[in-house]
């Protein structure tokens, strides 16, 4: 009888440890990751931006798990005009340990020619034909001369249905200055680009093993109590 009590106590201790570990997993705080190109938002005293003319495009490759990533500005003939590395390079994302739950792609645009600027943003996913946003901005105004005006844009990548494609920590965005259907040229500047991602930590294999052991212990306790009850009744 004493051995049974000791065994029951050990089973209860192990079960409590299992539930404690599971509680830590369910209450784990999501981790935030972020990578930026072209300086910092609001810092306009810099030449670190892309100036797009009609028919040009800027390509941004985000790589959250390693050094690198790139930004390339190409003209209408696909010639490279500028290349830049991330101004803030995220390297801590681990595809095996993180599961994306939300992500946002943010831009700041500017212009000063007092004309409507049409901006199209795509992603390389879904055969490169997935349009994330199409916007037209009036990004200049005339007040004792021309002055540059800014516009911010944030795209919810979960709402756009591309969150699953960020699982590996990579994302490519393409900003296009389409041909204008008027006499005024479609041109604008990209001042700042940022990809922010929030992810839940994935349990490690040892935690999953503990989960299996814990479930087995819970079953063992139930089985032990049932056997003890039946033996007690039969006696």
Domain count for the chain: 2
Residues 169 and 133 in one domain: yes
Residues 218 and 181 in one domain: no
Q: Which residues of the chain have pLDDT under 70?
A: 1-28, 42-46, 114, 126-129, 138-148, 181-183, 204-235
Q: Enter the pTM of the model.
A: 0.73
Residues 111 and 217 in one domain: no
Structural domain of residue 218, as residue ranges? Answer: 2-26+204-234
pLDDT in tens, 156-177: 999 988 898 899 999 999 999 9
- The tokens describing 233, both together, are 């009744």
Residues 37 and 152 in one domain: yes
pLDDT at position 235 is: 45
pLDDT at position 209 is: 46
What Cα–Cα distance (Å) separates residue 62 from each residue in 1, 46, 92, 112, 151?
64, 22, 13, 29, 22
Residues 223 and 182 in one domain: no
């Amino acid at each position: 009888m004493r051995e049974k009590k000791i065994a029951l106590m050990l089973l209860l201790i192990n079960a409590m440890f299992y539930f404690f570990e599971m509680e830590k997993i369910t209450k784990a705080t999501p981790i935030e990751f972020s990578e930026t190109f072209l300086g910092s938002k609001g810092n306009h005293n810099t030449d670190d931006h892309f100036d797009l003319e009609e028919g040009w495009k800027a390509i941004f490759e985000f790589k959250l798990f390693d050094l690198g990533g790139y930004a390339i500005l190409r003209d209408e003939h696909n010639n490279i005009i500028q290349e830049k590395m991330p101004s803030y390079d995220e390297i801590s994302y681990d595809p095996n340990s993180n599961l994306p739950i939300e992500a946002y792609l943010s831009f700041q645009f500017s212009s000063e020619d007092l004309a409507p600027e049409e901006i199209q943003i795509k992603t390389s996913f879904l055969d490169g034909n997935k349009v994330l946003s199409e916007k037209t901005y009036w990004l200049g105004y005339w007040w004792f001369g021309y002055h540059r005006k800014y516009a911010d844009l944030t795209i919810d990548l979960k709402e756009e249905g591309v969150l699953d494609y960020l699982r590996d920590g990579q994302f490519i965005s393409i900003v296009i200055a389409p041909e204008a259907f008027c006499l005024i040229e479609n041109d604008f500047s990209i001042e700042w680009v940022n990809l922010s991602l929030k992810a839940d930590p994935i349990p490690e294999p040892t935690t999953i093993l503990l989960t299996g052991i814990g479930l087995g212990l819970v079953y063992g306790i139930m089985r032990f109590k049932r056997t003890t009850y039946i033996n007690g009744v039969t006696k």
